[in-house]
């Protein structure tokens, strides 16, 4: 098998890398080797350009950024999308001008297929011991495919992570739950009735008209608020992007799957009843977040990271009851919420080194330093004796004031650097312990429990549970999925082209189904299904099924071999 060949080849990597020309050939570019070979990465100052598809303006002046530069000599100059991310990537390919480091998310296949990223494996063997230590048994999964065992990217997902917090399949204000004596709505009918009843009783909140449910559909956020919840609620799935995978690893495009029609018919009903925000299809994402921050939106269908800023604003004003509980809502009792189900490590999205990189060795050494214990603690906790401390027993902790700042100050990460630079670089998850026995992250079970606010604690007492996730079906109830979450996969060009065509039909088609007159819903839904077929539905499903079944078989065999 190819991965066995790769292991044999890596034993010879020291010999290979002693010959500079061969090393340059392996990496696809001319490598500048620094005189020193220490693993710390500390050199003369260097600035690397870094394209971050999920990034924003970063002057690299916060305390953590400055410490990173002190330790490595590296400064990052971040570039980020100002329009469509795919346009940025296509422009790079057309001009052959690439930043030193690139995080392209789902568009990295374009870079790889055009030879824009180097194969890092030989450099990692020579200069990346901490990279290999961080990934451990997951390291071989970083390889691009069975046919091409190159390592083009270091994945952005956390290694050794367990779901300890979740926004669930739907969110509801704590105020609404409290009004219902913390009864847990588990079906759409129960969820809807709580919202409907609260709207009738409280038509205005803080002087503004109450909104039952709001979603955001005018840009890429349609994936997180319109598409993703449809899979969670109608099919009980975990996040596999635009796909639904059955127990036999057969793959179906989400919006042509069973249960989807009923879910969008529910949204159609919510729209015409006045529960769904009448501006959902036209409001900007900024408008959407502003409404959430006002405290007048009762229900959401979103991800926790997307609503973090308005929730911080609400908390800063003491409006904890207007923040949101993540709930295990499904379409009816026949569907089980799988939000805690375990996946294999998602390895498709990650940071790569471009063929234009001015010093690939230095870049790998920088990435390796980011995987060290020193870096991982600082990235997650900040600066010792400023953002965190150790007690007499050696337990790492944050003061109540620091915890409050992190929860309520929307600019906390920008001001302190804490948590700002870990993603999308390699990182340990919430189950991993450092050499002192402390968790690398601030999201361990114990720290999450100690950080619950007053209204969350009130709910926990009413539910008689220890953690908020305890109201969900536990991970032990589900078989592990032996493939990377599909949203994190780098799809081959043919599959990506088919998916883009399907999404191009689904995005406006689903909105049309929601806003059309109820008596025309069946007609509109049938029209959308026909458009999906014309866009290549069956070809896409067959191709994706082949890819996922092959990956699941491959990874399961590797896991058995490693036991």
Q: Which of 23, 39, 115 is nearest to 356 (CA)?
A: 115
Q: CA–CA separation, 300 vs 523, rounded Å?
A: 28
Predicted pLDDT of residue 346: 81
User: Do the bridges between strand 74-79 and strand 46-52 make them parallel or antiparallel, or are there none, so unpaired?
Assistant: parallel
Q: Are 213 and 297 in contact (CB under 8 A)?
A: yes
Cα atoms in the Cβ-side hemisphere of radius 13 Å centred on 170:
29
Predicted pLDDT of residue 507: 98
Predicted pLDDT of residue 560: 64
Predicted pLDDT of residue 561: 67
Predicted pLDDT of residue 562: 64
Q: Which of 293, 90, 307 is nearest to 208 (CA)?
A: 293
3-state SS of 234-284 is HHCCCCCCCEEECCCCCEEEHHHCCCHHHHHHHHHHHHHHCCECCCCCCCC
Q: Which residues contact 383 (CB under 8 A, 6 or more apart)?
A: 63, 64, 67
The one-character DSSP state at 158 is: P
**Bridge partner residues of 204 (DSSP):** 209
CB neighbour burial string for 120-155, b if at least 16 within 10 angstroms, e if fewer: bbbbbbbbbebbeebbeebbbbbbbeeeebbbbbbb
Q: CA–CA separation, 224 vs 549, rounded Å?
A: 26
* pTM, rounded to two decimals: 0.82
Three-class DSSP category at 74:
strand
Q: CA–CA separation, 437 vs 445, rounded Å?
A: 14
Cα atoms in the Cβ-side hemisphere of radius 13 Å centred on 419:
15
Q: Which of 344, 87, 77 is nearest to 220 (CA)?
A: 87
**Bridge partner residues of 170 (DSSP):** 327
Mean pLDDT of each 10-residue bin along the chain, 563 residues long: 34 35 36 39 84 91 97 96 82 95 91 95 97 94 86 93 94 98 98 98 97 96 97 94 94 97 98 98 97 98 96 95 98 95 84 97 98 98 97 95 92 95 95 95 92 96 98 91 84 91 98 98 98 98 94 75 65
């Amino acid at each position: 098998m190819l991965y066995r060949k790769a292991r044999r080849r890596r034993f010879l990597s020291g010999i290979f890398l002693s010959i500079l020309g061969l090393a340059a050939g392996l990496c696809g570019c001319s490598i500048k080797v620094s005189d020193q070979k220490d693993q710390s990465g500390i050199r003369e100052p260097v600035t690397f350009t870094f394209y971050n598809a999920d990034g924003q303006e970063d002057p690299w002046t916060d305390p953590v950024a400055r410490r990173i530069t002190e330790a490595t000599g590296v400064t990052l100059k971040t570039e980020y999308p100002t329009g469509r991310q795919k346009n940025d990537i296509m422009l790079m390919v057309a001009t052959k001008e690439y930043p030193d480091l690139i995080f392209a998310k789902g568009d990295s296949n374009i870079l790889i297929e055009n030879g824009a990223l180097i194969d890092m494996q030989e450099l990692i063997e020579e200069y990346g011991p901490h990279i290999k230590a961080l990934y451990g048994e997951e390291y071989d999964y970083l390889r691009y495919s069975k046919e091409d065992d190159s390592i083009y990217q270091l994945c952005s997902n956390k290694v050794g992570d367990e779901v300890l917090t979740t926004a669930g399949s739907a969110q509801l204000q704590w105020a609404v739950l409290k009004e219902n004596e913390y009864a847990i709505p588990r079906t759409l009918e129960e969820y809807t009735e709580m919202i409907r009843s609260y709207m009738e009783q409280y038509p205005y909140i803080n002087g503004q008209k109450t909104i039952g449910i709001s979603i955001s559909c005018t840009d890429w956020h349609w994936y997180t608020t319109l598409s993703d919840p449809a899979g969670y609620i109608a099919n009980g799935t975990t996040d596999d992007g635009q796909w639904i995978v059955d127990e036999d690893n057969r793959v179906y495009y989400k919006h042509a799957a069973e249960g989807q029609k009923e879910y969008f018919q529910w949204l159609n009903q919510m729209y015409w009843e006045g529960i769904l925000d009448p501006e959902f299809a036209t409001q900007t994402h900024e408008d959407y977040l502003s409404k959430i921050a006002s405290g007048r939106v009762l229900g959401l269908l979103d991800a926790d990271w997307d609503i973090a800023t308005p929730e911080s604003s609400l908390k800063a004003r003491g409006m904890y009851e207007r923040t949101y509980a993540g709930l295990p809502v499904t379409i009816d009792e026949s569907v089980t919420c799988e939000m805690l189900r375990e996946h294999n490590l998602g390895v498709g999205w990650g940071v790569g080194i471009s063929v234009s990189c001015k010093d690939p060795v230095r870049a790998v050494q920088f990435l390796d330093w980011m995987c060290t214990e020193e870096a991982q603690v600082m990235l997650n906790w900040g600066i010792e004796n400023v953002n965190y401390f150790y007690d007499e027993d050696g337990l790492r902790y944050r003061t109540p004031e620091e915890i409050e700042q992190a929860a309520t100050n929307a600019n906390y990460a920008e001001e302190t650097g804490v948590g700002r630079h870990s993603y999308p670089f390699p990182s340990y998850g919430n189950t991993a312990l450092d050499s002192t026995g402390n968790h690398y992250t601030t999201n361990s079970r114990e720290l999450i429990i100690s950080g619950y606010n007053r209204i969350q604690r009130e709910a926990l007492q009413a539910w008689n549970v220890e953690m908020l996730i305890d109201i969900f079906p536990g991970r032990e109830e589900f078989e592990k999925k032996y493939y990377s979450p599909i949203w994190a996969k780098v799809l081959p060009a043919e599959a990506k082209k088919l998916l883009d065509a399907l999404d191009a039909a689904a995005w406006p088609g689903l909105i049309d189904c929601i806003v059309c007159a109820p008596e025309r819903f069946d007609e509109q839904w049938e029209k959308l299904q026909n458009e999906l077929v014309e866009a290549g539905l069956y070809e896409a499903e067959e191709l994706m099924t082949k890819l996922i079944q092959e990956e699941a078989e491959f990874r399961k065999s590797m896991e058995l071999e490693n036991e």
